[in-house]
Structure 1
Amino acid sequence: MHHRLKLLISFFAISMILLSTITSSYIQVSYGAYAKAPLSPTGPTVNDDTLTVEKVTGGLDFPTSMAFLGPNDILVTEKATGKVMRVTNGFVLPQPVLDVPVASAIERGLLGIAISKQPDGKTFVFLSYTESGNGVDSSDVDALVDPLGNRLYRYEFVDGRLINPVLLFDLTAIPPNTRGEHNAGKIRIGPDNNVYYMVGEVGGHRTQAQNIIDGPAPNGLGGVLRITQDGDLVDPGDPIFGEGLPLNVYYAMGIRNSFGMDFDPLTGNLWDTENGPVAGDEINLVFPGFNSGWFQVQGYVDEDLLEHGTTEADLVYFGKGQYADPKFVWTLPVGVTALKFLNSFKLGDQFANNMFVGDINNGLLYRFTLNEGRDAIFINDTYVGNVELLEDNEIDDPKENQPLIFGQGFGGITDIQVGPDGYLYILSYTGSVYRILPIADSIVPKSQPSSPPSSPAQNGTLTSQAVSAVILGIDGDNSYSPEPIEIESGQTVTWYNGDTISHTVTSGQDGDPDEGVLFDSDSIIPNQSYSLKFVEAGEFDYYCIYHPTMVGQVVVNQPDTSSSTSEDSPEDSPEDSPEDSTDEGDEEN
């Protein structure tokens, strides 16, 4: 019997045990934010005058991952449709190469893809997805049908189709906190030709793999799993964490959730990104036996960002398991996602083998350089800006981000790959694929985009009925100016984001059962604005879902009836202005 058959049986049994023994004390209560950065109105740009950004294609439906079959030939996964689309020479072929039934609530869906060319000429395609419980897409949302599981399949690419599915992993997708979050799903083929599969802790599972000493046994969640391309154990005689399933398929554990990992082309070391809750987005060097510390530690252990009072001695260790601090930390999360090494000199020698990282909150593309030993991040002299603040490899203030920003305006970034042409390809949840290349190599005519307005009053769209406000940054009740905003019913407020990262204008306060019901801007990226017309008198609290300490209030007064008109009559609730520039109409992830 192949090991994969044993995996399916063992993981099912462990999952059932976990669901019957997990206690409410381990359920994570912080919901977090799932707003995503919109595409910049002027399109994405990069901060290098010798490079440019080209749009390869658009029209994809919330794409999550991509992989190259060959030059100008890309397979792209769509989160909620369950379709694997093929993009050739910039065109999305009308028929998918595969359509699988997926559960799609929050972070469930068709999530990961990797391609491996075989010596015998076969092409294996590995897919990870949350499989629908009744064979219908999104039935977990529409009919509350539990998914079958988070599953890893191997297919063969033959005559433009994916055929001969082989189930390699079957992990529970049932979250104890009732939400469909933290499923991860990225897949990579390592230098050792084995399959590396990232899986999150799936909505608050709390086992010993999440460093709960008296918790249930590990159930395959919250780590990097490694198997051969046939689904067998990599080294049965020398497991990393211990004998028996699922310990002997873990490569790393203690990981909350991740949307990105890649192997350093010079050393073969695996690196990943990891998402923190209210604190501590990370970049990690993932060695065999790596324990990232979650649920006890996020960020640097000595800083205790989660305020658990945890030390390394308080974690759970199996076999060769060992905790290590992250190599870089955002104290305030940016929604870090994809990670890719540019194993190419096509963008210039200074960028070769650099690490590129994306985020979902701001649509930013970051560049990182490594030290000589390539086991730590080292911000060298190729950066522009105040790099002294980055010597601790930590961003405490969002403005410290600036030297690291390589590109912006992509919308939420879901994947980064290097094409056979050596250029850097960026996948945006907004449905587009972009590539970064030298201007000298581009054949697309370029027009200089107009600069964004420096204040809302300069955009030429405000009228006497509009009141302008500025989003200053994370500073409690001084985050929005003016504070409070006082207007009359029928007037419009336009908030302009003057900060360096994205924020939101969301009705209510963090934790309110009806937060965001009256109005919700979604992500407002830097230098962009959001407008809202208030038609009813009252006091309306609002805050930023990314940074809940940012709070404000709009006080709407009833105008003098002698000067009011039917057009300004109050209605039941605030309503979006037709000019709402941030309303993308996207589904929540």
Structure 2
Amino acid sequence: MTWENVVTGLSNPINFEFVSDKNPTEMWVTEKNTGRVKHIFNGTVRIVLDLQVSNSTDRGLLGIVKHPDFEQNRWVYLYYSTSPSGEGADWLSNRVVRFEWTGDEFINPLLIWETFTDPNQPNGNWHQGGVMAFGPDRKLYIVTGDLHRGRIWAGRIEQNTHATLPSGVGGILRLNDDGTTPSDNPFVSHSAESIRRMWTYGLRNSFGIEFDPRTGILWYTENGPDFWDEINYVERGGMNSGWLLIMGPDSRDARYPENNQTAFNASNLVNLPNSYYQDPVFSWYNTIGPIACKFITSARFSGDWSENLFMTDTNTAGLYLFKMRPDRKGFLLDGPLSDQVADNLAEREMNRIGSTFWTITDVKFGADGFMYLLGHAHGRILRIRPVSPPPVLNGKAVLENYAALPLNMPITIRLRNETTNELHDPINSVLDWKGNFSVRAPSGGTFSGSIKVGTYLSQSIEEFTLAANGYIYLDPAFGANGDVNGDDIVDDADLLIVLESFGTDGLGDVNGDGIVDDLDLAIVLESFGLAGHQP
């Protein structure tokens, strides 16, 4: 692997987001201390928003995420700490605000969530959280640290130190895109609105949140006190991560100043109805300060890098790689790490793949399939790539009238070399939960072809030229559906399968709603007689 700087000269950047999934040269970057959002396009940097923020310690402009339907609604969400008197230490609240991007500026702010200073609780300037992500359910997930609230002497629910009083912070929130609370949140019946918004609680602080592209399951990093950092995954809402009483595996009986050097266990936690405790997937006894985490699904990367979890830290300036188990609910660990704990400095190094990458606070993949890292300490964006990267076809498939996630739907790409007229072997892969795909392409040349997903008829790929180490981004929209038997034509054979599986959850469920019914029959009849494109 090698790396190079892409953008330099930024001031304490903390997060970034690509404006378009199709273009790796255009992005927004948030600067923590200045409160500025900078727009970068082909190397040109300009300020497009300047917020009045409190920037003491962990506070500031802390997060940015765009809506899943950004191409249609242009919505972008920002998490920041407000200041009543301008930039500095004065703090009023942490809030998430939705803006509309015009192409030149952010307009039409709408408040989504806010937590204020509270005279009855500590309002520490550490542990502010701020990272956000949209999940497969199209809900907005927001990390909020504990703000030093809920200490044993001033107990609160979210910190597992009081049975009835909420702190309003210290977990992962789950909200609708307009800021309202989803009716299926795990604590939706609780009397406190702040608890109803929670998806998880018992969280000290986190700088990394990621939904596994291959499963849709939520993963996050968690920062411990003097000991015990964690990586966690949340398969369903209601998880109690254990803080302030427990860090690391419950069996390790962690002791630290915040829990009065006392060995608590899961039975001591404040267990709300529908809550559950779960040990971390991995822990470090000696803290490293884990930050960003990202699953590697780009076909640019192979071997140990492919399909595994990449992570950064702040204490040792490290980069780490964790190999996923086949069920993707944990890591492949053996030897000293088989207990899922790095107990000492030597074990801490066993998953390290890089050093001296100071405080990488965000990681994303561009349309080119390369990994982009945001360097907070050095004020830069850098790119990691193979020394000789393979050519790839990246993209996102849009499926008309499909009710389910496109997760693991098969995709087949067929290419013909326009110079030699050679028809290459089919390239087979699967979509992730967003509909994204990344596959390796034949060596550089000029090609045309077709692309097919699931029961949808194949679409043509217009002629394109691919450099030897280059990429092409495809965004096919699929409309004609009903090819149940996979022969790329909708005919009597497909209709028969639908009729034979009618009323079941069988093969004829072409719209993905879980049952073969009149809707599927109508889809097949609408496409009857149509055929896909063959190169």
Corresponding position of 2:289: 335
Q: Does the 8 Å contact 1:213/1:315 carry over to 2?
A: no
Corresponding position of 1:137: 87
- 1:322 equivalenced with 2:322 (yes/no): no
Letter in 2 for 1:54: E
Letter in 2 for 1:153: V
Corresponding position of 1:165: 109
Q: Does the 8 Å contact 1:241/1:247 carry over to 2?
A: no
Q: Residues of 2 paired with 1:292 and 1:103: CA distance?
A: 28
Q: Residues of 1 paired with 2:366 and 2:50: CA distance?
A: 24
Corresponding position of 1:267: 215
Could you tell me which runs of 5 or more consecutive residues in structure 1 were left unpaired when the two chains were aligned: 1-50, 380-386, 443-589
Corresponding position of 2:28: 75
Q: Does the 8 Å contact 2:97/2:110 carry over to 1?
A: yes
Q: Residues of 1 paired with 2:364 and 2:84: CA distance?
A: 32
Which of 156, 179, 190 is the aligned partner of 1:242? 190
SS of residue paired to 1:125:
strand
Deviations for 1:375-429, whole angstroms, at most 9, x for unmatched residues?
11223xxxxxxx5221112111112233311222211111111222221111111
TM-score, with length taken from structure 1: 0.61
Deviations for 1:195-244, whole angstroms, at most 9, x for unmatched residues?
00000001233411100135x52232000001111112222587467355
Shift of 1:131: 0.7
SS of residue paired to 2:40:
strand
Corresponding position of 2:6: 56
SS of residue paired to 1:298:
coil
Letter in 2 for 1:168: I
In structure 2, do the counterparts of structure 1 residues 273 and 236 end up closer, same or farther at CA, with 3 Å as the change threshold?
closer
Shift of 1:149: 0.3
SS of residue paired to 1:55:
strand
Q: Does the 8 Å contact 2:322/2:351 carry over to 1?
A: yes
Letter in 2 for 1:325: D
Corresponding position of 1:118: 69
Corresponding position of 1:469: none
Number of aligned positions between the proteins: 376
Which of 178, 184, 189 is the aligned partner of 2:129? 184
Q: Residues of 1 paired with 2:160 and 2:172: CA distance?
A: 15
Which of 334, 337, 343 is the aligned partner of 1:390? 337
Corresponding position of 1:22: none
SS of residue paired to 1:97:
strand
TM-score, with length taken from structure 2: 0.67
Corresponding position of 1:345: 299
Corresponding position of 1:358: 312
SS of residue paired to 2:388:
helix
Percent sequence identity is: 33
Deviations for 1:524-561, whole angstroms, at most 9, x for unmatched residues?
xxxxxxxxxxxxxxxxxxxxxxxxxxxxxxxxxxxxxx
Query: What pairs with 1:445-456 in structure 2 (closer than 5 Å)?
Result: none
Corresponding position of 1:295: 244
C-alpha RMSD of matched pairs (Å): 2.1
Q: Residues of 1 paired with 2:27 and 2:118: CA distance?
A: 32
SS of residue paired to 2:47:
coil
Shift of 1:366: 0.6
Deviations for 1:466-491, whole angstroms, at most 9, x for unmatched residues?
xxxxxxxxxxxxxxxxxxxxxxxxxx
Which of 38, 61, 65 is the aligned partner of 2:15? 65
Which of 168, 179, 183 is the aligned partner of 1:231? 179
Q: Residues of 2 paired with 1:329 and 1:117: CA distance?
A: 32
SS of residue paired to 1:401:
helix
SS of residue paired to 2:224:
coil
Higher relative contact order (CA 8 A, sep 6+): 1
Could you tell me which runs of 5 or more consecutive residues in structure 2 were left unpaired when the two chains were aligned: 256-260, 391-535
Query: What pairs with 1:433-444 in structure 2 (closer than 5 Å)?
Result: 433-441=381-389
Shift of 1:278: 0.5
Q: Residues of 1 paired with 2:78 and 2:346: CA distance?
A: 38
Corresponding position of 2:450: none
In structure 2, do the counterparts of structure 1 residues 299 and 160 end up closer, same or farther at CA, with 3 Å as the change threshold?
same
Letter in 2 for 1:53: W
Shift of 1:434: 1.0
